[in-house]
Chain A
Amino acid sequence: MTENPAAPASIDVDHLCALAHFDFSAEEKEKFRADLSSIVGYVQKLSDLDLDGIAPTQYGQPVANALREDVPEPSIPRETALANAPDSSGDEYRMPKIVE
């Protein structure tokens, strides 16, 4: 493994799985926990920087709101979009029941 100078406190992989919708085995969880600890340890080097008063940069260019008229235009036909669905019924996507 690449050297990891500042390993953070244990990362709660169960919590991350719940947020990101994964269902890992115990072995996978341990592997990802170790990987994340190494990477998070590395990125902690940003704490060396004095960032007081520095504005964040979120985009590659300073892009403000790009406004346009709200004019409807043709889109992908419904049947074309549904052709990629793993399961569909008539004009709709089908998925497991969520209300008892």
Chain B
Amino acid sequence: MAGIDISNLTVAGAAEAMRRGDFTSEELVRGVLDAIAEKDGAIGAYLTVDAEGALAGARAADARRRAGEDGPLLGVPVAMKDIFNVEGQPCTCASRILEGYVAPYDATVVARLKAAGAIPCGRVNMDEFAMGTSTEHSAFQITRNPAAPDRVPGGSSGGSAAAVAGGTALVSLGTDTGGSIRQPASFCGCVGLKPSYGRVSRYGVTAFASSLDQVGPLARTVEDAATVLGAIAGADPHDQTCLDRPVPDYASALRGASVRGLRIGVPKEYFVEGTDPEVMACVRAAIDRAADAGAQVEEISLPHTDYAIAVYYICATAEASANLARFDGIRYGRRRLGPDGSLQSLYDRSRTEGFGPEVKRRILLGTYVLSSGYYDAYYVRALKARTLVRRDFDEAFAKVDAIFCPVAPTPAYPLGATAGDPLKAYLGDAFTVPVNLAGLCGISVPCGRTASLGLPVGLQIVCPAFEEPRLLRAAAAMETLLG
């Protein structure tokens, strides 16, 4: 028989089909493996695929179903960003320094997905240690945007977005420290959800900037993103920043979703010179649709928007310089000895040969802003300015229920366009980093394509921390309106 075509299959659709007995999880996983074999050569989303492990997981899920179990993720394959520890699989963070590392345990999110019957099915590409916005900083390969193969898929979760948008995964998991789920979702044309800080455990997820990192899904529909969030959210004794708050049934909350009566704030600082006019046109058109559907739209101000990039690149690199100190060539990963054979030379050579240029740049910057003489001038100032960014949102959410804005100032740009100019790449994070700095939840929902080149554009919706049900309802309503 012909294999299952997963090009447009959703998680909800697959679960319903398996429930009806149309196909088994094993057949579904074979469909994913076939799609990877057929299409991934041209996209390059996957770093490794453990076909045998995935098929074994599928057979186990089929056995659970035969035993009477059911669930929205039972038997569903999930592509994993190469930053999640999955027991027995490599976890390189797309870095040479972790070549050969095999994860000795499951990250909490992985354990929860497995408990729900989901199957980790392949590890997807990323910017090295999640530092980047194009996936070009992977040490291993380029990933192409399925919508425009000469362009980047965004990043750092570029493989996660390209797999979902390119028809080689139903759903994937990514991480978002300054936009790394939302921006690739916008560039590739899928849904990308960054939950509130404290909503999802980071245990077993390689740390980049611990006051900002969050785990979330990239999916073909808002409903699928809600389903995955429901499975991974909730307190974890292994991550004390993961708050002990109830986990609502996010997917059920979407029924009858509407924007009627929703008070939408549109920040004027996001629609300025420097934002691509075609991106603005797509987002404005989506906001007009919301207004036509009964939402109350008003302009708001987030006055410290222009400072967010500076705050972010100080805070995030400071934290990264500390987090990545653990890669020293002693306990795991790449080890190289210098000419004198000393411990100092081992540290220096292992790190110099193991890390790529963007990771080194950020470690150096973080080391600089934390170093004696500069700590108060840069790091402490940034922490205080972070308070102002957060207050902007507090004041806005006193007046509106949700903020609608662009995800990124541009659509996907050509491969190589930011090479040699790191600051230019950093400025592309202007609309996503404020959400991480303030600990809020945000989502990118496809809202059309640019007029000239037909590149995907995402609408970003932002809600207060732990208001994911409101966020997802607004996103689902927009998905229907724009569908």
Q: How far is the CB of A63 from chain B (nearest CB, A)?
A: 5
* Chain B residues whose C-beta falls within 8 Å of the C-beta of A58 in the assembled complex: 211, 383
* Chain A residues whose C-beta falls within 8 Å of the C-beta of B306 in the assembled complex: 45
Among B101, B105, B310, B325: residue with most chain A CB under 10 A: B310
**Interface size counted on chain A using CB atoms at 8 A:** 52
* Chain B residues whose C-beta falls within 8 Å of the C-beta of A81 in the assembled complex: 104, 331
| Chain A, range 18-51, C-beta contacts under 8 Å to B | 19-24, 32, 35-36, 38-40, 42-49, 51
Q: How far is the CB of B222 from chain A (nearest CB, A)?
A: 23
* Chain B residues whose C-beta falls within 8 Å of the C-beta of A85 in the assembled complex: 330-332
B436 in contact with A60 (CB, 8 Å): yes
B331 in contact with A57 (CB, 8 Å): no
B384 in contact with A59 (CB, 8 Å): no
* Chain A residues whose C-beta falls within 8 Å of the C-beta of B396 in the assembled complex: none
* Chain B residues whose C-beta falls within 8 Å of the C-beta of A86 in the assembled complex: 329-330, 332-335
A55 in contact with B388 (CB, 8 Å): no
A13 in contact with B364 (CB, 8 Å): yes
Give the nearest-CB partner of A23 in chain B: B348
Q: How far is the CB of B10 from chain A (nearest CB, A)?
A: 30
Classify chain B: how many residues form its interface, as a range. 35 or more
Interface string of B168-182 (1 = CB under 8 A from A): 000000000000000
Give the nearest-CB partner of B438 in chain A: A60
A86 to B427, CA, bound (A): 39
Interface string of B331-342 (1 = CB under 8 A from A): 111110110011
A51 to B387, CA, bound (A): 10
* Chain B residues whose C-beta falls within 8 Å of the C-beta of A35 in the assembled complex: 361, 422
B424: contacting residue among A2, A21, A95, CB under 8 A: A2
A21 in contact with B351 (CB, 8 Å): yes
Q: How far is the CB of A99 from chain B (nearest CB, A)?
A: 10
* Chain A residues whose C-beta falls within 8 Å of the C-beta of B198 in the assembled complex: 60-61, 63
A61 to B332, CA, bound (A): 32
B343 in contact with A95 (CB, 8 Å): yes
With an 8 A cutoff between CB atoms, is A90 at the interface?
Answer: no
A96 in contact with B439 (CB, 8 Å): no
Interface string of B92-113 (1 = CB under 8 A from A): 0000000011101100000000
A63 in contact with B307 (CB, 8 Å): no
Known A-B contacts A23-B348, A84-B332; the reply to A51 vs B385 at CB < 8 A is: yes
A42 in contact with B385 (CB, 8 Å): no
Chain A interface: which of B237-245, B256-264, B283-291, B451-459? B237-245
* Chain A residues whose C-beta falls within 8 Å of the C-beta of B351 in the assembled complex: 20-22
B365: contacting residue among A23, A40, A95, CB under 8 A: A40
Interface string of B306-339 (1 = CB under 8 A from A): 1101110110000001000100111111110110
A44 to B423, CA, bound (A): 13
A66 in contact with B436 (CB, 8 Å): no
* Chain B residues whose C-beta falls within 8 Å of the C-beta of A48 in the assembled complex: 307
| Chain A, range 75-91, C-beta contacts under 8 Å to B | 76, 80-81, 83-87
With an 8 A cutoff between CB atoms, is B347 at the interface?
Answer: yes
* Chain B residues whose C-beta falls within 8 Å of the C-beta of A45 in the assembled complex: 306-307, 310
Known A-B contacts A2-B427, A86-B334, A95-B346; the reply to A43 vs B313 at CB < 8 A is: yes
A1: contacting residue among B105, B196, B343, B423, CB under 8 A: B423
B422 in contact with A56 (CB, 8 Å): no
A20 to B461, CA, bound (A): 38
* Chain A residues whose C-beta falls within 8 Å of the C-beta of B196 in the assembled complex: 60-61
Known A-B contacts A20-B364, A20-B367, A22-B360; the reply to A84 vs B331 at CB < 8 A is: yes
Interface string of B55-84 (1 = CB under 8 A from A): 000000000000000000000000000000
* Chain B residues whose C-beta falls within 8 Å of the C-beta of A43 in the assembled complex: 310, 313-314, 378, 382
A63 to B184, CA, bound (A): 29
Interface string of B189-215 (1 = CB under 8 A from A): 000000011100000000000011010
A39 in contact with B423 (CB, 8 Å): yes
B349: contacting residue among A13, A23, A47, CB under 8 A: A23
With an 8 A cutoff between CB atoms, is B381 at the interface?
Answer: yes
Among B351, B360, B426, B465: residue with most chain A CB under 10 A: B360
Chain A residues with CB under 8 Å of chain B are 1-2, 4, 11, 13, 15-17, 19-24, 32, 35-36, 38-40, 42-49, 51, 54-61, 63, 66, 68, 76, 80-81, 83-87, 93, 95-96, 98
Chain B residues with CB under 8 Å of chain A are 100-102, 104-105, 196-198, 211-212, 214, 237, 240-241, 243, 304, 306-307, 309-311, 313-314, 321, 325, 328-335, 337-338, 341-349, 351-352, 360-361, 363-365, 367-368, 371, 378, 380-388, 390, 421-424, 426-427, 436-439, 465
